[in-house]
Amino acid sequence: MLQYLAETGVKLLKIEIWSDFVCPFCYMGKRRLENALQDFPHKDNVTLEYKSYELDPNAEENPGLNMHEYLAEKKGMPAEQAKQMNESVGKQAAEVGLTYNFDTMQHTNTFDAHRVAQYAVEQGKGEEMTERLLHAYFTESKLISDHATLIALAEEVGLDPDKVTELLKVDDYALHVRSDEEQARQIGVQGVPFFVFNEKYAVSGAQPEEAFREVLDTVWKEENERPALTPFPSSTKSETTYCTDEGCEVKE
């Protein structure tokens, strides 16, 4: 059955964002994009779609290392050097108003957090849930794989805690997470954050605000300056079976 849709006016600008909750540059990139959007005159016509991406699907739920030790082990470097790197990242985060508490941060597996976020997206709370999880991890040093923690955070953003309890017990929304990750693989994502604007332009990494401003302006102009129409079929002579204010042309 064919449907009719009302005229919607200007086109929406869709931004798909692959990110992980334990990814320091994802939170910064999110904030920089948001800052760029604040000044974007067409921000009400922008939709954000947060996508699941686990940096390490095999990450332990509780590795028993602090973040400096964890990074040192991951990168094979002295703990002191790892600490300096974390401090450097923390400074960059502070520049966009974010507080990263690396000393107490608890690295963990994010699969369940992504499942809850997928449920939140479905309930129209994706924005709030994503922000809440990032804040819980980077600033509040919460263990965001812990089910009681996830349920409490979900309730804070207005989700039904019973529903979240239930979905965490079983495999709900696992396929949503895997589907996002498969899509990322297909389009060649090798790291996060990864932003795709109207399925056309890709921004890799937490680029400066200015880069986000540029891509927003570029995509908006391209999409809303109605493109020249291509006559179809182009190969055959146009049939004269149409009507104008002069009357209808009859095909002989």
Under rule CB under 8 A, which residues in 123-182 are in contact with its own copies?
124-127, 176, 179-180
- Interface residue with its own copies among 4, 171, 225, 237 (CB under 8 A) is 4
Judge contact between 127 and 157, C-beta under 8 A: no
Residue number with CB closer to its own copies (73 or 147): 73
- Residue 218 as a binder of its own copies (CB under 8 A): the answer is yes
- Residue 23 as a binder of its own copies (CB under 8 A): the answer is yes
Q: Which conformational region is residue 66 in: left (phi greater than 0), alpha (psi within -120 to 50 degrees), or beta? A: beta
- Residue 203 as a binder of its own copies (CB under 8 A): the answer is yes
| Residues from 48 through 107 that contact its own copies (CB under 8 A) | 48-50, 55-56, 71, 74-75, 85, 88-89, 92
Burial 39-64 (b: 16+ CB within 10 A, else e): ebeeeebbebebbbbbeeeebeeeee
Q: What's the closest the beta carbon of residue 214 comes to its own copies, in angstroms?
A: 6
- Residue 191 as a binder of its own copies (CB under 8 A): the answer is yes
d(C-alpha 135, C-alpha 5), whole Å: 39
Q: Nearest Cα to 164, choosing from 149, 175, 178?
A: 149
Tokens 């947060």 correspond to 50
- Interface residue with its own copies among 80, 171, 199, 225 (CB under 8 A) is 199
d(C-alpha 105, C-alpha 65), whole Å: 10
Q: What's the closest the beta carbon of residue 12 comes to its own copies, in angstroms?
A: 9
d(C-alpha 95, C-alpha 76), whole Å: 28
Q: What's the closest the beta carbon of residue 229 comes to its own copies, in angstroms?
A: 4
Residue number with CB closer to its own copies (6 or 170): 6
Q: What's the closest the beta carbon of residue 148 comes to its own copies, in angstroms?
A: 25
